[in-house]
A and B are shown apart, each in its own frame.
Chain A
Amino acid sequence: MQPPHRRGANRRRYRTAVLGASAGGGIPDGAGRPLRVVTGIVLDASPHLLVLGAPGGGETRVAMSDATAVWHGGRTGLAALRPGRPAIVRLKATGDAGGGGYGADRVWLGISRVTGTILACGRDSVDVDMGPHRGRTRVAIPPNALERVLVRHPRLEPGYLIDVICVGSPDGPRAVRPGTSQPGYRADDLAAPEVTAPVPEVLRGTATWFGGADERGTDVPDPADGAAYPAVDPEGDAGGCADAPSGCVAFPYLSIGSEIVVHNECGGRAAAVPVVECGCAAARFCDRCADCDATPRGRIVELTPAAFAGLGGDLESGCFNAAVRPVGTAGRAVSW
């Protein structure tokens, strides 16, 4: 099977051939470009240089500074940059070296996210079904994080949804803080929009991220930009789940490889990202993000950590207010 990016390019070629070229790219006027993000395993670190092992082999060297913020279960210092830890690094232009240099702005170490339906609750752990594509996992919730999680997840019981930011540990993901507030309904009790509800030209709601470091916190996070979209068609080779809920937003059906423009309405950055996964888990969340302003309800897209950070999102805060547009279906440049 072709990778989503390659498949998406082929499908765009086919679509353009049969429907014609689109007039617009879908990036809103005035939107900023995404920031550069690199991922890798920490090989070496010093106060001035971070060396990452790239996913495909080779090394990536990133300049560090006093202003570089490091996260490993919370704000921490450079001492956390131990070899072997997976890192996501957001870069910013440093302005030195002739104005063309980049340095590390934010470094997230071993960060991951567990989002899904609670299957069982133990004394200090929760079993979570993350959807058919992501499987199940057990997330540990240590006492120091439990209070914070409970504040925004008051129904920590089977059948309800959970969304927590975690840090990798040898025993699996360890929750450090809630990702978003828990919806008040049971996971299978989602209110769908009316079947006749029209599809808005621009979907507005919450953008979150998915994945990150693996369960043990040893693998490299996905370096590519991509999105898990809640309404991937289940027929043919589109890649959707047959039993995915319809979500609480009037989503148009898309497929793996389709491109969407995600606009961070808080930070002002926008980028076209391919759909790389069915966002069955996101479809169950009819929640809001209050990053800069209250969004309409509905989790409209989940991004890979690289795409989320590149659009200006802070991985530990979990969401930003987003607008999602189509990337010009031919003949209908700004509609689905």
Chain B
Amino acid sequence: MVTVFQNTQVLLLAAVLLIACLAKLTVREEVPGAPDHVHGVPVPAGLARLTTAHGGRRMTVGVGVGEGMLGLALLLTSHLSVRLATTVVFAAATWVVSELRVRRPDAGCGCFGGLSGKKVGRRSVLRALLFTAAAVGSLGAPLAGFDVLLDVQAQVGLVLVVELGLFAALSPELSTLLRRRGLLGGGGLPHGPGRPATPCERRRSPIQETYATLYDSQAWTEHENLIASAVPLDVWREGCWRFVVFPARLDERDVEIVFAVSTADRDRTVRSSVLTAETALSSTS
């Protein structure tokens, strides 16, 4: 029975390491490096860089690749050095997560890449602690992970299912993942998975994007032949709209055509209006 339990730990740890590797390589942080407020006090960006373990993408990828190799090694070999390395990794992770919980109440641990963006809670610390215990338990396991899989016993399956259930229950990342996939309400992302919606009022919108949106619009097609110069008279922005004014000729009169181009991330709309010197003639959208 003890041997079965030890063998199961090898499978569990390999699965966890491979999942962590996959998450780090595929799920980017929603807000890379964005600091937050702690008790109403903003965290200086430099402090955030210093104290966040998942500061850079390269570091995240490096850690993820290392975890993947360790997970594969657990499946392929029963060598003690691999088990010891796994134990050391999880023990170190437990320490890091505990420190982050105390020192960076605004930051996630990055344990599962961008899915671990929420602040570190007790569940994450307990999870790391249990994984460390599992790694210690796996030290004496006689079989490599693949060997366990080749001859799966009912007891192994049962213990593994229970442990994976516990792993899921202790993982705040699960709700984040479901939310990203649109399977959970409240915070679902209408603008596509993995991409947070920046409010149009504060979204940086390059001028090239504005022109591209304008030239593709129905409003531009309607007024294109009236425009007298390709050089706009004025280009400015207020909140969700960037305005572009062109000189134009309509019925032998000099007029101005104003386009309002949305600065939203997606589904940008364009409105237009034709003005004489002081009066608006018409308005379309």
Contact = CB atoms under 8 A, between A and B. Distances in A.
Interface stretch (A11-19, A126-134, A142-150, A220-228): A11-19
A18 B236 contact: no
Contacts of B34: 192-195
Given A17-B273, A252-B239, A237 B234 contact: yes
Most buried by A among B35, B44, B237: B237
B199 interface: yes
B258 A14 contact: yes
A233 B46 contact: no
A102 interface: no
A258 to B, nearest CB: 5
Nearest to A231: B202
Contacts of A254: 237-239
B202 A17 contact: no
Nearest to B195: A196
A20 B283 contact: yes
Contacts of B37: 191
Contact of A195 (B40, B198, B206, B244): B198
Contact of B199 (A13, A250, A258): A250
Interface string B8-49: 000000000000000000000011001111001111111110
Q: Which of A18, A192, A197, A336 has the most C-beta atoms of chain B within 10 angstroms of its own C-beta?
A: A18
A34 B242 CA distance: 31
Interface string A247-261: 010111111111000
A326 interface: yes
B199 A235 contact: no
B42 A191 contact: yes
Interface stretch (A182-190, A300-308, A317-325): A182-190
Contacts of A18: 243, 258-260, 271-273, 280, 283
A198 interface: yes
B46 A252 contact: no
Interface string A183-223: 01110011111111111000000000000000000000000
Interface string B124-150: 000000000000000000000000000
A257 B278 CA distance: 18
A113 B41 CA distance: 26
B40 A15 contact: no
A69 interface: no
Interface string A77-112: 000000000000000000000000000000000000
Majority secondary structure of chain A interface residues (helix, strand, loop or mixed): loop
B237 A17 contact: no
A13 B283 CA distance: 13
A329 interface: yes
B112 interface: no
Interface residues of A, number: 50
B44 A190 contact: yes
A192 B32 CA distance: 12
Interface string B229-259: 0001011111111111100000000001011
A257 B236 contact: yes
B45 A189 contact: yes
Q: How many residues of B sit at the interface, in one of the four size bands?
A: 35 or more
Interface string B47-89: 1100000000000000000000000000000000000000000
B147 to A, nearest CB: 47
B236 A255 contact: yes
Interface string A112-148: 0000000000000000000000000000000000000
Given A192-B34, A196-B197, A297 B40 contact: yes
B44 A189 contact: yes
A211 B279 CA distance: 37
Interface hub of B47, B243, B244 (most chain A Cβ within 10 A):
B243
B243 A14 contact: yes
A198 B199 contact: yes
Contact of A297 (B31, B42, B202): B42
B183 to A, nearest CB: 20
Contact of A336 (B236, B240, B280): B240
A46 interface: no
A296 B37 CA distance: 12
A196 B117 CA distance: 14
Contact of B258 (A17, A191, A199, A250): A17
B207 interface: yes
Contacts of B198: 195-196
Interface string A6-33: 0100110111111110000000000000
Contact of A238 (B43, B235, B272, B278): B235
Contacts of B239: 199, 252-254, 326, 329, 335-336
Interface of A: 7, 10-11, 13-20, 184-186, 189-199, 231, 233, 235-239, 246, 248, 250-258, 286, 296-297, 326, 329, 335-336
Given A253-B238, A255-B237, 8 more contacts: A14-B256, A18-B259, A196-B199, A197-B199, A197-B202, A236-B207, A236-B232, A297-B40
17 contacts: A13-B275, A14-B256, A14-B258, A17-B258, A17-B273, A18-B272, A19-B241, A19-B260, A186-B46, A194-B34, A196-B199, A197-B202, A248-B42, A253-B237, A253-B263, A254-B238, A255-B238
- 5 A-B pairs with the lowest CB-CB distances in the bound complex, closest first: A236-B235, A252-B201, A191-B42, A17-B280, A336-B239
Interface of B: 30-31, 34-37, 40-48, 196-199, 201-202, 205-207, 210, 232, 234-245, 256, 258-260, 263, 271-273, 275, 278, 280, 283
